[in-house]
Amino acid sequence: MLPEQPISVPSDAIEASAALRDLLNAREAGKYTTGVGLKQTGGEFTPQIALFVYVPQKRPSGEVLEGELVPAEFGGYVTDVVEVQPVHVDDTARYDPLCGGIEISRERLIQDGIFAPPTGTLGAVVSSRVHGGEPQLLTCAHVVQQSDINVYQPGLVSISPVGDVVGTVEAVRSEFNPLFLDCATIALNGSRSAKPLVEEIGAVHGAMVDLPPLGAVVKKRGKRTLLTFGFVVRLSSSGFVPAIDQIEISGAVPFVTLFAGKGDSGSVVLNSNNEVIGLLFAIPREDLGAGLGSGGLAMPIFNVQEALQVDIAR
């Protein structure tokens, strides 16, 4: 059963998760991601705080080499091994004015050949610290790939070689040192205005300055699965420092429900106060069919804002 109230994550738990990650990486050459989350037993989340370790495939303990075994307890916390196989989460309507939660795509590149570029989601309108607060658009780096190329809304399709260009990619941050980042901004070209709201959700009330508590109810609006709800179950640190750089959201309580799918990348995740808590970049696994999942992975929005030097517009 979930906690009756969201649980703030103790600082010593975050430090313990980083120490556990260092221990595992010292034993094994593989790259481990660890974090703090709600203990999952029999497929259900419980109020107990645990340190967790992401693995591509869970195996019975008898099949795991001694050097790869995760200790049952570490740093005063129980541990939880979680199977995750991240898949990038890649309405086709035209929106004027532009807003969050709608489809976009980059221009065609040579590597696309005869195919249309993959579509993603315009997450939110942001204000640029570098350019005097001018409005820009926020999405994932893997949606647009590189700077100085055109962005379309709606996205291009194979049978439509032309479309509406709404802006140009300005900044792209895609890296894994020291924090995981997959984010980008788009400078508007003046063809359409943009409003600081998310389709189906409404006005955005800025960004959350702290990590969301475990068990907090959240929502997102993406181009593929539209408006969905979930709750925060884990906070992880995958880089080289203890700082949290990924938030895991689950739609699996009290029963499994859809949270995100391919094409939702770039969606912002908001709390009940309509504050942005993160930027969705992947689903942990395709457990509801090809390209669809009951969960989502997001970067904390304060990491994104600092990397791109922007603020969520309100």
The distance in angstroms from the start CA to the end CA of the chain is 35
Distances (CA, A) of 89 to 205, 261, 271, 300: 25, 5, 20, 17
> Sheet containing 98-100: which strands, arranged edge to edge?
98-100, 194-198, 202-203
Domains of the chain: 11-83 (no CATH), 92-198 (2.40.10.10), 203-301 (2.40.10.10)
Predicted pLDDT at 58: 80
> Which H or E run contains 230?
strand 226-237
State how beta strands 77-83 and 44-55 pair. Answer: parallel
Q: Do residues 71 and 78 make contact, with C-beta atoms less than 8 angstroms apart?
A: no
Asked whether the whole model's pTM tops 0.85, one would answer no
Query: Which range is least confidently modeled, 81-95, 213-227, 240-254?
Result: 81-95
Mind listing the pLDDT tens digit for each residue in 113-163? Answer: 878 898 999 999 999 999 999 999 999 999 999 999 999 999 987 555 556
> What is the per-residue pLDDT across 17-39, written as a single tens digit (0 to 9) for each?
989 988 888 876 557 788 899 99
